[in-house]
Amino acid sequence: GAGVSQSPSNKVTEKGKDVELRCDPISGHTALYWYRQRLGQGLEFLIYFQGNSAPDKSGLPSDRFSAERTGESVSTLTIQRTQQEDSAVYLCASSYTGGGYNEQFFGPGTRLTVL
Amino acid sequence: QQQVKQSPQSLIVQKGGISIINCAYENTAFDYFPWYQQFPGKGPALLIAIRPDVSEKKEGRFTISFNKSAKQFSLHIMDSQPGDSATYFCAASNPETSGSRLTFGEGTQLTVNP
């Protein structure tokens, strides 16, 4: 079946603008994660959704970052008033259920460049 | 306590050689240790994973060695091939966090020369 998809693949924006990134998880996966990957660095956890439960937002770096997910489908990550330090690749992953030893399947990411 | 330290940052190996990447952790709550492989422009993909109740896991040319007492684990790639050239990330899962959150190492860029 189809893997995790993300759009857009690349986004260039000006400082101060808002951006919205989209993630389509694998169908049937109840868990969805967002990560940030800065150049030459590992993945940094941002937010976790599990079914209809309240999301774990503990990794969001500031209140300019927010995310939503409708049920067990699409998720959007919104960054308001973008700053140059927000430039990174934003990765989405989904898994059949959160926790345990469930494999996380990653999308190709959205490369965000803030000028 | 959440940190996973990975080394080396980059590695160059000749075709047919052995590639070794090391990771160390502090948090004894971690209970699952996957390795991810990432090619340029792609998301990471699970390569191999181990649980702390075993000391070694082998899948084809890829082996994880796990030392629970030292809190270290490593990835060995035997007979390295140019197609193995990628960035490798170790990770550790903490069941005490929501979703058994993964903490990633900083990555190792592997280049296998033909």
Q: Which residues contact B86 (CB under 8 A, 6 or more apart)?
A: B37, B38, B39, B109, B110
Q: For residue A94, which amino acid is it? A: S
* Cβ contact A100–B102 (<8 Å): no
User: For the segment A45-56, what is each residue's pLDDT rounded down to a tens digit?
Assistant: 999 999 888 899
Q: Which residues in B have their CB inside 8 Å of a CB on A? A: 4, 6, 32, 34, 36, 41-46, 49, 51, 89, 91, 93, 95, 97-107
State the nearest Cα–Cα gap between A104 and chain B, in angstroms. 8
Report whether B52 contacts B29 (CB < 8 A).
Answer: no
In this predicted structure, the answer to whether residue A98 has a pLDDT above a threshold of 80 is no
Question: Distance between CA atoms of A74 and B12, rounded to whole angstroms?
Answer: 40
User: For the segment B44-88, what is each residue's pLDDT rounded down to a tens digit?
Assistant: 999 999 998 999 999 999 999 999 999 999 999 999 999 999 999
Query: What does the domain layout of chain B look like in residue ranges?
Result: 1-73
Query: What does the domain layout of chain A look like in residue ranges?
Result: 5-106
From A104, A105, A109, residue closest to B102, measured CB to CB: A104
In this predicted structure, the answer to whether residue A100 has a pLDDT above a threshold of 70 is no
CATH code of the domain occupying B1-73? 2.60.40.10
Strand order in the sheet with A19-24: A5-7, A19-24, A75-79, A65-69
Half-sphere exposure of B27 (CA within 13 A, CB side): 21
The tokens describing B17, both together, are 């050689």
Q: Residue A95 — very low, low, confident or very high, per pLDDT cuts 50/70/90?
A: very high
Question: What's chain A's length in residues?
Answer: 115
Three-state SS for A71? coil
Neighbours of A19 (CB within 10 A): 18
Whether CATH 3.90.1660.10 fits A5-106: no
Report whether A88 contacts A37 (CB < 8 A).
Answer: yes
State the nearest Cα–Cα gap between A47 and chain B, in angstroms. 10
